Amino acid sequence: MNRLTTHFAPGEPAWVELCTARPDQAEAFFRDLMGWTVRREQLGQGSYRICEADGHDVAGIIDAALLHSGRRHGWITYFAVDEMESAISRAISLGATVLLEPRHLPAAGTGATIVDPHGAVLGLYEAGARAGVETLNSIGSLCWNEISTGDPAGTAAFYGALFGFTTDQLRSTMGQPYSVLKLEGRPVAGLLALESSWPNEIPARWVPYFNVAALDDSIEQVVNLGGASVLGPVSSPNGPLHVVHDSEENPLYLIELESSLRTPRPHRLVRQDSMAEPRTTPLFDSREFRDACGQFPTGVTAVTAVTADGRLAALTVNSFTSVSLDPPQVLFCLATSSSSFSVLEVAQRISVHILREDQEDLARRFATSGLSGEAKLEGVEWASGPDGVPIIENTAATLVGHPGQLITSGDHVIILVDVDEVHHKPSQLTALGFHRGRFLIPGS
């Protein structure tokens, strides 16, 4: 139930958006029901509303008149794609219709809206600056997406061909045929069979599940806010759930989650500048280049990281800099040949420690090749931070955050870190420096 640190794999539900004719009413309803805070970002002549739970982006609200030609689609599930144009072409070849052509938003990515052959509206999303939702399964956030359809076989075939889903056939807790849609063996969405046949067919629909702290209290609040209790509570293997309508009769599930329904696979969006001109052979060798760059004095940092399965990394880095104040971001560079790269490319949390002048031994230890992160940390005083990331004690400063994009460039990768914790204490000691291949104390 942690903040996501990766982009979603193609085919995973990555975002949910409420397309409504009454965005102010919808914002008030979900702010009171889910405890969301809402910020507005400029979109054309209007604004897009980003809903946050505990500081993490969890959903969007859009005025149907602004982006969807006034058509109120209710909740739209957006699926991650690697390349928008090819995904659109594949969907059309499978019988889908494009409702909203691809639109690039510099602050987010590229999105499009289609309707599948069975009437379900869905979105496609090619991540850019944002991956999508920033947390899964936590209170107030998305935890599952489900399509209800009168043609389960045809629907499964369409999404299998579009995204590569496989299916496990089950029964829902209400006894209806149910399929779990999987990517590489991981559950990512559900398919509920409706009793629907020609000429009384019901259009298919994608519906989100949101986790709530207390289901009974939430249902009472839904009714008090002008929504409706539709079905439930129903016991499920992952916790009690309830189908409700919001104040505009859009269906959604509320669940008091007891165990996670889905866990995203780490999938880094690694971009290279494909438009760059072919490089010419430099008129100098790599040693000369390193010597020239070495004329620039830097500080020294110790970087630690932890993965979701508990693997650790510890390394010394001097190619470090701040990037942004709002949001707070830093970056560092790492050779792709580094033994730490396999941990950092799927890290769940990263700590960057600015070392003091008396911590040269620590810098040398973390720079030792052939040792695992666990071995480098032996004998070092450190505490377990968020998600178990090692936080080294008594450094000049510590920046803790979630890894953002990894950007490859030549034989190195640039790792962006979204900082959410800062620790530092006043000290008489200065920071450790590095210049011309040697550690130094600035001013000495």
On whether both 243 and 286 belong to a single domain, the answer is no
Question: Average pLDDT for residues 241-253, to the nearest whole number?
Answer: 95
Q: What is the Cα–Cα distance from 37 to 92, expressed in whole angstroms?
A: 37
265 domain-assigned: no
Share of the chain above pLDDT 70, in %: 91
Q: For residues 101 and 122, give the distance between their C-alpha atoms in angstroms, rounded to a whole number.
A: 13
The answer to whether residues 278 and 238 belong to one domain is no
The answer to whether position 263 is within a domain reads no
Q: Are 230 and 294 part of one and the same domain?
A: no
User: Token pair of 192, please?
Assistant: 């509920």
Same domain flag for 212 and 308: no
Residue 236: how many other CB atoms lie within 10 Å: 19
HEC letters along 42-87: EECCEEEEEEEECCEEEEEEEEHHHHCCCCCCEEEEEEECCCHHHH
Identify which of 206, 197, 115 has the alpha carbon closest to the alpha carbon of residue 150.
197
In-domain check, residue 260: no
Q: Note whether residue 200 is domain-resident.
A: yes
- Find residue 217's DSSP bridge partners: none
Helix (H, G, I), strand (E, B) or coil at 26: helix
Task: Yes or no: say if 236 and 251 are a contact pair by the CB < 8 Å rule.
Answer: no
Q: What is the pLDDT of residue 175?
A: 61
129 in the same domain as 79: yes
Domain boundary among 222, 255, 288: 255
Residue 248 lies in a domain: yes
Q: Are residues 49 and 195 in the same domain?
A: yes
Give tens-digit pLDDT for 275-332. 344 455 677 777 788 788 888 888 999 999 999 889 999 999 999 999 989 889 999 9
Q: Distances in Å between the alpha carbon of 2 and those of 68, 303, 342?
A: 32, 21, 21
- CATH at 118: 3.10.180.10
pLDDT at 421: 93
Domain count, the chain: 2
Same domain, 246 and 280: no
43 shares its domain with 119: yes
Residue 358 and residue 405 in one domain: yes
Least confident of 20-34, 210-224, 322-336: 322-336
Cβ count within 10 A of residue 272? 10
What was the pLDDT predicted at 443? 64
Q: Are residues 394 and 335 in the same domain?
A: yes
For tokens 């010419």, name the residue.
280
Q: Take residue 207 and report the two structure tokens written for it.
A: 């519906």
Q: Which of 73-77, 154-158, 280-284, 362-366 has the lowest mean pLDDT?
A: 280-284
The CA distance from 422 to 401, in Å, is 9
Cα-Cα end-to-end distance for the chain: 48
Q: Is residue 3 part of a domain?
A: no
Identify the CATH number of the domain in which residue 399 sits. Answer: 2.30.110.10
pLDDT in tens, 163-203: 999 999 876 565 678 999 999 889 999 999 886 554 445 78
384 & 299 share domain: yes
Domain that holds residue 242: 13-255
Q: Are residues 18 and 137 located together in one domain of the fold?
A: yes
